[in-house]
Chains A and B, each alone.
Chain A
Amino acid sequence: MRLHSPDDLKTLQAELCNNGHWTGRTLIIPAGTCGRASGANDLIRKAREELLRGEFAHLIRVRVTGCHGFCETEPSILVEPDGLFYPRLKPADVGRLVEATARGEIVEDLVWLDRETGARIPHQRDVPFFKKQRRTILSRSEQVDPEDIDSYLRNGGYSALLKALEGGDPAWVLQEVKSSGLRGRGGAGFPTGVKWEMLAKQPSTQGKFLVCNADEGDPGAYMDRSILEGNPHSILEGMLIGGYATGATDGIIYVRNEYPLAIKHLHIALEQARGLGLLGENILGTGYSFDIQVVQGAGAFVCGEETALIRSIEGQMGEPRQRPPFPIQSGIHGRPTSINNVETWANIPIIIEQGAEVFAETGTEHNSGTKIFSLVGKIRNTGLVEVPMGITIREIVHEIGGGPVGNAEIKAVQTGGPSGGCIPASRFELPIDYDGLAKAGSIMGSGGMIVMDGHTCVVDVAKYFMGFLKDESCGKCFTCRKGTQRMHEILDDITQGRGTHDQLDLLEELALVVKDTTMCGLGQTAANPVLSTLRYFRDEYLAHIDQQRCPAGVCKPLITFSINENCSGCQACAKACPADAIYGERKQRHTIDTSKCIKCGTCRSVCKRDAVEVA
């Protein structure tokens, strides 16, 4: 079926709402990459079996969706319309869950258990992880089956496009985006409306490009994957609106090939949208034409940089080039090109639908709307959190994240990935927005938030990022290519206990040289992880240099493993040790032969009595 006018689309939406009207309950099972890795597929199979077996199909439906954000508790089920949340389910639990749901009851022992109070919390909205969030984008992933355009349409999908097209004034759309104050969610925070305005003003006889940058290379951030997997049509709708506002003719979604499920869902979404006439020539009979193509990356971090990304889209090596000319003036094949991040695109339909004013009510001045962070690392509740701009780090880490795992204290969060920096616990009252984070020596970046506790060595983390950047530097600028290598060598020396004070000075000097003399963002920000950890955790660097000691117990050459009096002689560690370095009689305290020990940490992870010590 092809829709020939805006009215056709309205009729279809209305039909879908009437026919699909469901008074029963729905079991929503998140099955993004994370859900599937945790066993969501088994849960889906089991739920469908149980519905058939108990003949509940007239009472309960199953909806398979993308990730809802609370990945750590997957596989999970959300029951609609009650809003009941069942985390960490096993297939064996599904039978009684289905039966109880059919009776309209709650399975008390399967709902969220609050560790502090010991209380059971049945409703998702009351679970601390969800309570403080403002989930305008992520909550849509609960409503929508990403492989089914009908489900998107039923939930008001493409209404924002309809509103834009029916208004008939691209300038109005542009102004709405501009007044919303939306800033680029890829990290730099450039006002989206201003960028679009520049694109709209560019003369071009051969057409203009809009690009969705889904090359989410920042390790530790995955909100873009989640949106693409869970709600691909929202990105298409955003781009269609963008094309209308700016006069662009072609859209490209550049997605990294490490996200196979996102790619699959995008292709399905494109095909379905094209089938309905929502993409291509003369969309909804309005004379507006726009098409979108998916281009897959091939694994290069630097391709997140605009000019490198353009080269990669052209099929070349992803090396950045000097600006100007800016992509807005001369991008893909020399045509004007505007590149926006996935999360930015996901915000566009929301802005048009609710209006710029309502959108700007969330967040703070100059930082409107919500931002999704991936809260990961040494934290109890890991997952994606969507919060209003201006919330403090403490609220995210301690209230939403539930604080540290075990007894170790949280000492810092790392934001902005390899281009960002560390923020120590003493500055957790800092409100999160583009400007505040920059003042603290970090950046917003795409929204990775890696929590580090007392068992995380900041020198090791700085070395990790430098190693990453050394590998990912494209090599075009000498100072980036060699500078990152040399900084990595120095950091390696420090973690091996061979570092000197002179090297530390050299490291700081190199960091600034690389920052000042490289062409693209990769090099210009490469020193951030080093500079920010030196700023806040200099004492940890000095402990490695002066005392050959790693306070966090991470750097292998500086630590030894031993077994303390908690040992019950269960032999679990001795059996697991790959180096046969642990000996001792059964039910006697064991000993580690340090000459054989390869410091792999296996003993520590298998010990149930905290008997393995690292010093």
Chain B
Amino acid sequence: MEAVVDEREVVAIVDRHNAQCGGLIATLEEVQTVYGYLPERALRVVANITDHSLVDVYGVATFYRSFSLRPRGRNHVCACLGTACHVRGAPMVVEELERRLGIRAGETSADGEYTLETVNCLGACALGPIVVVNGTYHSKVEAASVKKLLKKTQPEAARLASEPKVAVSSL
């Protein structure tokens, strides 16, 4: 569902970061923390009140992997596909997640319940494969343990329904 964007809030975010190094990226990161993704309206506001053209803003928003232009699900499942996780069977884990959730990596389920994403490396390589569910790291995940992992998150899903967004950065 498209988020309702409070323009004053976006302006405040821009003000906080604009003068700093990496200002645009930091701005978009905070916008995403607030809305869970980058709503079009917010990008237009950012472009309007900074020196950047909308094309530049869109360019940055699509260049970096952690930005999403689409709303994310209430539950955020993120599988690590780093090399160490890969050789220990991470692709099987991702396939099993895709099968169980009925979505492909990078997609959000139609009911807005789950978003499945992959990440290049979370740096917990000794414990791979790693899956992060709503900010909680799960280590040594196998295809066979995916079912249990998702089941465990269900109470979390209920809890999260009341508090909309928890990103990986909540660690």
Q: Tell me the A residues contacting B by CB distance below 8 Å.
A: 33-34, 36-38, 71-72, 216-222, 225-226, 252, 254, 257-261, 263-264, 293, 295-301, 312-318, 332, 374, 376-378, 382-384, 414, 417, 448, 450, 452, 456, 461, 464-465, 468, 472, 474, 576, 578, 598, 600-602, 605-606
Contact = CB atoms under 8 A, between A and B. Distances in A.
Interface residues of B, number: 51
Interface stretch (B5-13, B69-77, B91-99, B155-163): B91-99
Nearest to A209: B21
11 contacts: A219-B81, A221-B125, A260-B169, A298-B64, A299-B119, A315-B22, A316-B24, A317-B63, A448-B83, A472-B120, A605-B142
Interface in B77-110: 81-84, 86-89, 92, 95-96, 99-100
B26 A450 contact: no
B24 A257 contact: no
B53 to A, nearest CB: 12
B171 interface: yes
Contact of B88 (A315, A332, A377, A417): A377
B126 A34 contact: yes
A257 B83 contact: no
B21 A313 contact: yes
Nearest to B81: A219
A222 B121 CA distance: 9
A295 B26 contact: yes
Nearest to B89: A601
B96 A34 contact: no
A37 B127 contact: yes
Contacts of B125: 71, 220-222, 374, 376, 382, 448
B22 A312 contact: yes
A377 B84 contact: yes
Given A258-B168, A300-B63, A601-B143, A216 B123 contact: yes
Contacts of B23: 315
B18 to A, nearest CB: 9
A218 to B, nearest CB: 7
B144 interface: yes
Given A259-B123, A600-B95, A605-B144, A300 B64 contact: yes
A260 B121 contact: no
A602 B120 contact: no
Given A301-B120, A600-B92, A600-B143, A296 B21 contact: no
Interface string B129-171: 0100000011100111000000000000000000000001111
Contacts of A312: 22, 25
A207 to B, nearest CB: 13
A464 B171 CA distance: 29
A298 B28 contact: yes
A33 B83 contact: no
A606 B100 CA distance: 18
A258 B122 contact: yes
Residue of A37, A297, A317, A578 with highest tally of chain B CB at under 10 A: A37
Contacts, number: 184
B60 interface: yes
- The DSSP consensus for interface residues of chain A is mixed
Residue of B92, B100, B124 with highest tally of chain A CB at under 10 A: B124
Contact of B124 (A33, A601, A605): A33
Contact of A33 (B99, B122, B144): B122
Residue of A293, A602, A606 with highest tally of chain B CB at under 10 A: A602
Given A299-B67, A576-B144, A602-B96, 12 more contacts: A216-B123, A219-B81, A226-B123, A252-B21, A258-B66, A298-B65, A299-B66, A315-B26, A374-B126, A383-B126, A452-B87, A601-B92
Nearest to B138: A37
B7 to A, nearest CB: 21
A452 B25 CA distance: 37
Nearest to B171: A260
A310 to B, nearest CB: 10
Contacts of A216: 121, 123
Residue of A264, A315, A376, A383 with highest tally of chain B CB at under 10 A: A315
A72 B124 contact: no
A219 B126 contact: no
A374 B123 CA distance: 10
A38 B83 contact: no
A34 B124 contact: yes
A159 to B, nearest CB: 29
Contacts of B130: 37
Q: Which 7 A-B pairs have the closest CB atoms?
A: A299-B65, A298-B64, A222-B123, A37-B137, A220-B83, A71-B126, A219-B82
